[in-house]
Amino acid sequence: MTTPPCRTINWLYCFFDEYYQYIIYHIIKQLQVDSVCCKGYYSVGVRNTICGDVVQEMLKTRYLRINRNCPESHLIAEGAEVIKKGGLVAFPTETVYGLGADGLNSDAVLKIFQVKGRPRGNPLTLHVSSFKQAQELVSSWSPAAELLARRFLPGPLTLILPRSQGIPDLVTAGLPTIGLRYPGNRIALDLIKASGVPLAAPSANISGCPSPTSSQHVLADLDGKIDLILDGGPTEVGVESTIISLAGERPLLLRPGGVAKEEIEEVLKEKVVVADSVLHFEKASGEEENLCPGVNNKHYSPQARVIMVTGSPGEQVTKVKKFLAANTDQEIGVMATSEHFPIYEDFSVLPVYLTDLGSRTNPEEIANRFFSALRECDQAGVEIILVETIAPTGMGLAVMNRLCRAAEQHQI
């Protein structure tokens, strides 16, 4: 039996890099194959996804370096022009790189879902450049929102509030609420202002993969799929913004991030409820799903299998040593805290890749390194990544949230 052309081309897409995929695309056009879809392929050790029923011709992604402290106006204008034409621009924020589109243009927003392979039931956050712009996008601006906005914005905090009219349902996943973010990055703010619209901007990566903290991460995932990358250097925080819902009776923390729960409680003078899904994503409640669909999905995952190393610091060292000794047939990487890094270097059985996350007394440093370290392990070709757990307090809660989801709760 002859293999149908569409299946043959589909197979080729899964095993060739982007240059050859471009050639294959034109072969498809010549064969007039009208439906080719590959769920995923690997290119240079980085996972990517092609979405949609028909393969789209690859874009020539432009790459521009821009001054993070004093962004060049002509480069910002280039980015804004892409946004105004319905295109996609990757840009730095203080947390991770975002993939921006005109948040009021449904066609532009749809491209975000297609390029990332993002489920459409997962709403997007709108990025704004002023309090006035934020307030225009909501039907109610509560006293709590005012307190948090004045204390933390611009900064790494996303507020979920009742939405106003005029926001596409595709952005909100049909929910009556909208997530608003006022980023604390000059490039991001100048781009939003020059575009003249709020930007829908999730992380600039393939959905489910580690978030991008540098332009190189974006290029690895999305080269040939988006119009422009603005390279403003590595991000400062390294994990996404904190998401807090103010749509209910009590503040609900849906995702820990750049602003610690304890800081929010200090400003509001009340306890913040932490969603069950923060450290146990499989336990997402109905309320959490309604406010933030996708909270129970595996996320932030590299190609390698991630395993959490639990217990006291001494127990963690013992567990890593035993695991390495018992699995010499596998390529294992270790993401260690600074306190244990030199100990692992002296093991008789060494990991294939060993990286220093930072001191367990400085969770901000670990958060800054976390996503980059996951990607480094993939580049080193490891099959399993052992990651030491830290205390889930302060910024440590954000680190543990990402680690629990990347590992799908697997632990030793």
Strand partners, 160: 179, 245
Strand order in the sheet with 157-162: 62-65, 228-231, 89-92, 97-102, 199-200, 125-127, 177-181, 157-162, 242-245, 252-255, 273-274
Q: What is the pLDDT of residue 284?
A: 53
* 3-class DSSP state of 195: helix
Q: Quickly list DSSP for 361-399.
A: T-HHHHHHHHHHHHHHHHHTT-SEEEEE----STHHHHH
Predicted confidence (pLDDT) at residue 12 exceeds the cutoff of 80:
no
CA-based angle 336:243:217, to the nearest 5? 50
Average pLDDT over residues 396-406: 96
Average pLDDT over residues 178-201: 98
Predicted confidence (pLDDT) at residue 110 exceeds the cutoff of 90:
yes
Predicted confidence (pLDDT) at residue 2 exceeds the cutoff of 90:
no
Average pLDDT over residues 89-110: 98
Predicted confidence (pLDDT) at residue 41 exceeds the cutoff of 80:
no
pLDDT band at 280 (very low <50, low <70, confident <90, very high): confident
pLDDT band at 376 (very low <50, low <70, confident <90, very high): very high
Average pLDDT over residues 203-223: 97
- The separation between CA 351 and the C-alpha centre of its own chain, rounded to angstroms, equals 27
Under CATH, what is the fold of the domain 62-291? DHBP synthase (3.90.870)
Q: Lowest mean pLDDT: which of 15-29, 118-132, 148-162, 317-331?
A: 15-29
Q: What is the pLDDT of residue 223?
A: 97
Cβ neighbours for 167, distance < 8 A, ≥ 6 positions apart: 103, 104, 126, 137, 178
Looking at domain 305-407, which of 3.40.50.11030, 3.40.50.300, 3.40.710.10, 1.10.630.10 is its CATH number? 3.40.50.11030
Average pLDDT over residues 198-215: 97
Predicted confidence (pLDDT) at residue 7 exceeds the cutoff of 80:
no
Q: What is the pLDDT of residue 292?
A: 56
Q: Specify the pairing of strand 89-92 against strand 228-231.
A: parallel
Average pLDDT over residues 366-387: 97
Q: Whose CA is closest to 22, among 46, 7, 2, 43?
A: 43
What is the average pLDDT score of the chain? Answer: 86
Q: What's the one-letter identity of residue 294?
A: G
Neighbours of 41 (CB within 10 A): 17
Q: What is the pLDDT of residue 37?
A: 28
Q: What is the pLDDT of residue 43?
A: 30
- In the chain, where the domains are located: 5-47, 62-291, 305-407
Q: What is the pLDDT of residue 291?
A: 56
Q: Lowest mean pLDDT: which of 15-24, 47-56, 248-257?
A: 47-56
